[in-house]
Structure 1
Amino acid sequence: MDICQQPPWIELWQGLECTLCRFEDFHLPIDATDAIVWQVCQDNGLHLITGNRNAEGPRSLEMTIRQRNSAACLPVLTLADPDRILRDFQYAESVVESLFDVLIDPDVFRGTGRLFLP
């Protein structure tokens, strides 16, 4: 999400005090289950940004959302086409705009489970 830290988005990024967190920041193994990653994000008030995931198995991200989502939960932000972000600047801008729509007022989106960007 380097684009978020460049003009014209950098001021908004900094104003919202956004940071990127990685698995190692929470001592999560790279092969942590979707359910564990989701729970760590919820426990720490973090938005989980991911590519589209499947609903295979009881610990898949989709199944986790279905089973554990509540009105207090932050949504999972799903990149509809992650590869396109790298090759299509206008699309990347649309994704970032959608992302900031959520980050500016996250409480509006609590309980929605999943939001696709853009």
Structure 2
Amino acid sequence: MIILVDHHLEGYIVLLQGALANEGWLDLLPIHFVLLEEAGLAINSSDRVVWQFAQQRQMILLTANRKMKGKDSLEQTIREENTSISLPVVTIGRVDRLSNREYREQCAARLVEIILYPETCIGVGRVFIP
């Protein structure tokens, strides 16, 4: 599974990857984190463009973005474009708490659950973790 990491999480993704590695998940599952720039997207791409990019390539978008400001906001995009076969946007509820080991492990566990059982989240639009 490819996880497209929103630019707001770039500094935090190493912590989440570390939690996944410590639990052995990165050895067991094909999880690959891709930053926007690595995917060829500008960091100032609209939320709509990022969401569409992720959906077209069957990527899960990982973000901390919960705002609904403007016609191209992530929440507005999900409301307008989400379908019954869309992959979820996984939103870390409290990104500031990723520095806390317990919270980070909870986020990692929930992300693994989503990856292992994607059918439970297909079409829901957004999943908050932990």
What TM-score do the two structures reach when normalised by structure 1? 0.91
1:83 aligns with 2:85: no
In structure 2, what is the equivalent of residue 17 of structure 1? 30
Output the CA distance in 2 between the equivalents of 1:6 and 1:100.
Answer: 12
Instruction: Determine if contact 2:48/2:77 at 8 Å carries over to the other structure.
Output: yes
Residues 9-58 of structure 1: CA distance to partner in whole angstroms, max 9, x if unpaired?
x3x22332110111122211110000000011001111100003211101
Structure 1, unaligned runs of 5 or more: none
In structure 1, what is the equivalent of residue 18 of structure 2? 3
| Percent of pairs with identical residues | 31
Output the CA distance in 2 between the equivalents of 1:43 and 1:60.
Answer: 18
1:27 aligns with 2:40: yes
Structure 2, unaligned runs of 5 or more: 1-15
1:107 aligns with 2:119: yes
Give the superposed CA RMSD: 1.2
1:94 aligns with 2:101: no
Output the CA distance in 2 between the equivalents of 1:62 and 1:74.
Answer: 14
Output the CA distance in 2 between the equivalents of 1:76 and 1:14.
Answer: 24
1:53 aligns with 2:70: no
What TM-score do the two structures reach when normalised by structure 2? 0.83
The answer to which structure has the higher strand fraction is 2
Q: Which has the higher contact order (CA 8 A, sep 6+)?
A: 2
Output the CA distance in 1 between the equivalents of 2:117 and 2:27.
Answer: 15
